Amino acid sequence: MIYPAWLWVIVTVIASLGQTARNTMQRSLTRTIGTVGATLVRFLFGLPFGILFLLLLEASTKIPLPAFNLPFVLWATLGAFSQVVATALMLMAMNERSFVVATAYIKTEPVLVAIFGLAFLGDALTFQTAAAILIATVGVMMTSWTPVAASSAWKPLLFGIGAATLFGISAVSFRGAIRSLDTNSFVMAATFSLAIGLFIQTALLMVYLLAFDRTSLFAILREWRPSLFAGFLGAASSQFWFLGFALTSAANVRTLALIEVLFAQFVTRSIFKEKISLREITGILLLVGGIALLLLAH
């Protein structure tokens, strides 16, 4: 399949916008259905949309569904499990600190993704790409970091870095799953991997809730209207993430995705009407410069 070389840029920006909106919805849901419940929302209410995307793609293109194979199952399971735990840690970090600061902790992910991608998938980095990742990540931290007492900083730091590590493993694993499928359509490979990943994630969380936390499960069902919207946003943004993983290395996708911090800044400031500082302006310039360097490398 022939596609423009810049297509991964478009799908990644769309995914970042959708993820910012979904994270905002999930964070608000933690107040009513708890962290585990809000984590499940992304997958349980995203699964029907993931299946719908797959059925619509098959019906409209007549491309057959790929066959399962052992590498795909292993990669998809690892990606699904690590993403579930990462999402829970992310929401815990957001409950401890502001939305944008928690996002900054989590956005140390590209450095980890680059390392994991090189180690497990052989996704090599050029010097320019590596420099872009480091510059953009430093910019993110400058933009979003706020000084706090050490006693109140360690929990969100651990939650955020833990989430970043597991999101990194998840991104590389899902790219591995996509690459292991025998199909000539990158759209079908991405969409099929998304549907299977959502199924595994929903099954894991449903078993956990039925065994240990039925109260949260009933709370989720009561909050089905906002949960359905959050699930749609989750499935739609994941669809574009997976398309990005199918088109280029996970490190490229997750580095460009750092623009989500700018979206998070907008969310925070539109609520609290805070002024931007010189440090934040410097961080934004570094972030934009790093992303520009990444795009010039491709």
pLDDT in tens, 249-273: 888 898 888 787 777 667 666 654 5
**Integer Rg of the chain from CA:** 18
Q: Over 60: is that where the pLDDT of 97 sits? A: no
Find the helix packing angle between 260-272 and 278-296, rounded to 10°: 150
pLDDT band at 70 (very low <50, low <70, confident <90, very high): very high
Quote the tokens at residue 269.
């400031």
What does pLDDT average to over the chain?
A: 82
User: 52-66, 95-109, 219-233: which has the minimum mean pLDDT?
Assistant: 95-109
At residue 151, the pLDDT reads 45
Please work out, in degrees rounded to the nearest 5, the angle formed at the alpha carbon of residue 160 by the alpha carbons of 297 and 13: 35
At residue 196, the pLDDT reads 97
At residue 174, the pLDDT reads 96
Which pTM does this prediction carry?
0.82
Q: Do 189 and 246 touch, CB atoms closer than 8 A? A: yes
Is residue 114 exposed (0-12), middle (13-18) or buried (19+ Cβ within 10 Å)?
buried
Q: Do 95 and 35 touch, CB atoms closer than 8 A? A: yes
pLDDT band at 106 (very low <50, low <70, confident <90, very high): confident
Q: Over 50: is that where the pLDDT of 25 sits? A: yes
Rounded Cα gap, residues 188 and 176, in angstroms? 15
> What 3-state class would DSSP assign to 8?
helix
Q: Do 176 and 121 touch, CB atoms closer than 8 A? A: yes
Q: Do 119 and 174 touch, CB atoms closer than 8 A? A: no
Rounded Cα gap, residues 195 and 50, in angstroms? 5
Q: How many other CB atoms sit within 10 Å of the CB of residue 141?
A: 16
Segment 58-74 mean pLDDT: 95
At residue 149, the pLDDT reads 45
Question: The tokens 């972030």 sit on which residue?
Answer: 287
What is the helix, strand, coil percentage profile of the chain, to 5? 85, 0, 15
So where are the chain's domains?
Answer: 67-296
Rounded Cα gap, residues 245 and 251, in angstroms? 9
Rounded Cα gap, residues 75 and 68, in angstroms? 12
Rounded Cα gap, residues 103 and 84, in angstroms? 17
Q: Do 221 and 165 touch, CB atoms closer than 8 A? A: no
Rounded Cα gap, residues 268 and 101, in angstroms? 10
Q: Do 195 and 242 touch, CB atoms closer than 8 A? A: no
Percent of the chain with pLDDT over 90: 31
Q: How many other CB atoms sit within 10 Å of the CB of residue 88?
A: 20
